[in-house]
Amino acid sequence: MRVATRLGTVLSLLGALIATAVAMGLIAACLALPALGAAGQATNGSIKLFNEMPGSFAMNPLAQQSKILAADGSVLATPFSQNRIVVPFDKISKPMKQAQVAIEDERFYEHGALDSKGLARAITSNIFSNGTQGASTLTQQYVKIALQNQALNSGDTQAAKEAVSRTGMEGYVRKLQQLKYAVSLEQKYTKDQILDGYLNLVPYGGNIYGVEAAALTYFGVHASQLTVPQAAMMAGIVNEPGLLNPFVRPKLVLDRRNVVLQKMYQQKMITRKQLIKAQNSPLGLHPTQTSSNSCADSKYPYFCYYVINWLETQPSLGKTPKERLATLQSGGLTIRTSFSPKIADVINKEVRAKVPQGNSAGIDSAAVVVQPGTGLVLGSGQNTKYSNSSGRGLNASDFTVSGRGYPYGSTAKLFAVITALENGYTPDSTITVPSYDAKSSAGANAHAFTSEDFPGKCGLGGSEVWTLPNDAPQPRAGSKMTLANATAQSVNTVFAHLVSTLGACNVLNTTTKFGIRDGNGNPIEAGPSSITLGTSNTTPLDLANAYATVASGGVYCEPHPVVSITDGNGKKLKLTGTKCKRIMNKKVAAETTQIFETVLTSPYGTTGGKTLLAGNRQAAGKTGTNDRSTNIWFVGYTPQMATAVWVGHANGFSEMRNVTLAGHLYTSPGGGYVFAGDLAAPIWKGIMDGALKGQKVKYFPLPDGSTPTTAPSPSTTARTYTYTYTSTYSPPATTTTTQPPSTSTTQPPKTTEPPKSTEPPKPTMTTQPPQPTKTQTPPPGRSHTGPPRHVG
């Protein structure tokens, strides 16, 4: 009874298939079996069902791996959902085409969408079994796998299962539908086009799809170079790609390969001599190129993930981050980045040499390099190994771009200097050192700033007092310092007084204009300590890019890692987040550079004159050290590149004092705190010397617009000192009154918008720094008598 029932069902559907095929001229009428006449009425109904099925089917673009390339063309990563590299038909070897046809559909070039001989042979088996095996042509197999592939790409796993269902009524309906789709394909495309689609579509084991990825994986050659035995092995895998893994079951794969070779011989595709030689040869696996879907396996994982995250912001790849990621993993994109492996290798070498991976102090270090005038990220690195596991020296966070960032200390003084220069100050304008009318929590002489000094929304509220000391040796209260000298020495109270005079909100506006923000993209805090001394968080990337803006002569560019994106058809896609605009004039940029050169050139600067670059290269920059040395920085630039170096703990708040790294003790008098000039600045020098090696020496433009062709003499870049040091103080009883920024009687008022004030007259300068008395002589570099507070 069961066989009879099944016979009726099978005859009905197969009858519909054959009758429709006869009606359409796909097979000859004489091949229809007489037994089908018994099911005539059912067959007529099934023909109607067949005719009502959708018939249009196109060879849609295949999901294929994308490539993320470094600036030198080397591959950083190959993101994919399916490891596939689509190649044209003429880039596939003849043996590969022959082998696949021989084992899958030997009459492929002789029949249409339906193989009548194969169908007739399968009918008896299908009547008395539970399957629908046999009779599928290569075109039908293409349709089946393509439908499954489309379902998987859309996330419909149920539809993917149904596409390859082989049992029950659903199996027969599926075969009818796939036949109709196959008919559509045969009408639209040539046999070569269908075979080309098939060879690029089908799985060849694991997550390897298409002949090109398979050839590279198994033999380290392109599909165009595949030999007879290599092609036979790959063709044999398609039947059972999950089972036939040559790395795991080589004997099974070898036997299957030889079956394919025998088929090729029987169909006169190869000679007997070729058959014997190929069957006696080993598999010959020789993988020389592997592809990874994960940036974790890249040599440069942190930068790779940064690129992925940046690509998820690009509208040209899709409407949502999820769609953009799917395009990246399936669109066959070529992403060309600005990343220089040479520069990255230098960064990793230098940060690890000074702050070794997994050091006992648990201190981390990272650096990033940006190209002035473009915003392109040239390289980044850190002293950790990429890992999602916890452990010393392991981290999955990219310190240069991830999270909220870190407090950036006195590197923030750049923005006060720029605001001052835009409001009529010059590098030689003088500022009075505020009185020492208070003591810090550590007992150091300090000045107490109140809401009278910092009113308004960017100021201090009510009775709030900001007690601010200077780092030792402290300048004498009431003495005058030039803007350049105050920067070189990183004198906190002078800068707080300057910000108060300019208007804290005006300096905040400059900071924001230069791209400084919380690492999560939020605005930095609008308070005096944040604006003046960088107590808010930002990332090394944003800080490097801000300094790169000055290096470029005042052109701000959004930082980005990608030069171009090309789709699988060679079409360039639009990039966003790469715009540039001028935000400061060239004269202000040149004067800013002159001021920040003194940080490196002055023996009394925060680097102690020990960070000059090799080859007599001009450079400018700034140290940054936060409270209790929780984070230390050096950010600096030449005309070609700007680099930010950060050293600290990943948590951002653990102090660094009396630390031994790579056999060197970093300490200081009065607390043992680690300072930026002692650790971050030498790392920066090592990176810049290595990255610039072999590049042309370039010089900064002067304020008059000219550019030197040789290195300027020290007298044109080093600023003089118009104050004296003193080692002991008796704090005055009263606070000094607000002093003008220069000897001019006109002082920029505190307004929300910086006025265009008249440039103050330049104070008298001496040709050499005044010689202090013996009791006042500062030691080399910097000495410290107490815990640092937002210092240098």
pLDDT (tens digit per residue) in 79-105: 998 899 999 999 999 999 999 999 999
pLDDT at position 719 is 41
Residue 46 has pLDDT above 70, yes or no: no
Question: Please, what are the domains in the chain?
Answer: 1-52 (no CATH), 80-293 (1.10.3810.10), 407-556+586-776 (3.40.710.10)
The DSSP secondary structure of 479-546, one letter per residue, reads: -EEEHHHHHHHT-HHHHHHHHHHH-HHHHHHHHHHTT---TTSPPPP-SHHHHHH--SEE-HHHHHHH
Residue 784: pLDDT band (50, 70, 90) is: very low
CA distances (Å), origin 577, targets 193, 311, 490, 521, 567:
40, 10, 34, 14, 19
- pTM given for the model: 0.81
Of 184-198, 287-301, 391-405, which gets the smallest average pLDDT? 287-301
The DSSP secondary structure of 299-348, one letter per residue, reads: SSHHHHHHHHHHHTT-GGG-SSHHHHHHHHHHB--EEEE---HHHHHHHH
Backbone φ and ψ for 126, nearest 5 degrees, come out as: -70, -30
- Single-letter residue type at 557: C
Residue 158: pLDDT band (50, 70, 90) is: confident
Residue 47: pLDDT band (50, 70, 90) is: low
Residue 265: pLDDT band (50, 70, 90) is: very high
- Extract the tokens encoding 139: 């075109």
- Extract the tokens encoding 531: 């604006």
Determine the average pLDDT of the residues in 480-500: 97
- Extract the tokens encoding 498: 């300057």
Determine the average pLDDT of the residues in 246-266: 97
Residue 409: pLDDT band (50, 70, 90) is: very high
Determine the average pLDDT of the residues in 692-719: 80
pLDDT averaged over the chain? 84
What percent of the chain has a predicted confidence (pLDDT) above 70? 78
Residue 257: pLDDT band (50, 70, 90) is: very high
Residue 501 has pLDDT above 60, yes or no: yes
**Cβ-contact 545, 372 below 8 angstroms:** no
Residue 129: pLDDT band (50, 70, 90) is: low
Residue 711: pLDDT band (50, 70, 90) is: confident
Among candidate residues 381, 339, 340, the one with its CA nearest the CA of residue 364: 381
pLDDT at position 119 is 59
- Extract the tokens encoding 101: 């046809």
Residue 381: pLDDT band (50, 70, 90) is: very high
First and final CA of the chain: distance in angstroms? Answer: 94
Residue 15 has pLDDT above 60, yes or no: no
- Single-letter residue type at 181: Y
Instruction: Tell me the pLDDT tens digit for each residue of 318-343.
Output: 999 999 999 999 999 999 999 999 99
**Cβ-contact 366, 403 below 8 angstroms:** no
Q: What is the CA radius of gyration of the chain?
A: 37
What percent of the chain has a predicted confidence (pLDDT) above 90? 65
Contacts 24+ apart (CB under 8 A), 511-516: 511/412, 511/415, 513/556, 513/583, 514/414, 514/415, 514/418, 514/546, 514/549, 514/556, 514/583, 515/542, 515/545, 515/546, 515/549, 515/556, 515/558, 515/559, 516/408, 516/412, 516/415, 516/542, 516/543, 516/546
For every residue of 233-271, which 3-state class applies, written as one string? HHHHHCCCCCCCCCCCCHHHHHHHHHHHHHHHHHCCCCC
pLDDT at position 788 is 38
Q: Which residue has the higher pLDDT, 352 or 734?
A: 352
Residue 31 has pLDDT above 90, yes or no: no
Residue 13: pLDDT band (50, 70, 90) is: low
Give the bridge partners for 556, in sequence order: 581
Instruction: Tell me the pLDDT tens digit for each residue of 617-643.
Output: 999 999 999 989 999 999 999 999 999
Of 271-275, 294-298, 374-378, 781-785, which gets the smallest average pLDDT? 781-785
Determine the average pLDDT of the residues in 608-616: 90
Residue 520: pLDDT band (50, 70, 90) is: confident
pLDDT at position 715 is 39
Measured CA to CA, the distance from residue 209 to residue 82 in angstroms comes to 6
Q: Which residue has the higher pLDDT, 236 or 16?
A: 236
Of 104-113, 158-167, 416-425, 631-640, which gets the smallest average pLDDT? 158-167
Burial class (CB in 10 A: 0-12, 13-18, 19+), 459: buried
- Cα dihedral 598, 603, 604, 606 sign: positive
pLDDT at position 122 is 55
Q: Which residue has the higher pLDDT, 150 or 556?
A: 556
Determine the average pLDDT of the residues in 340-355: 98
Residue 48: pLDDT band (50, 70, 90) is: low
Measured CA to CA, the distance from residue 2 to residue 428 in angstroms comes to 104
Q: Which residue has the higher pLDDT, 668 or 156?
A: 668
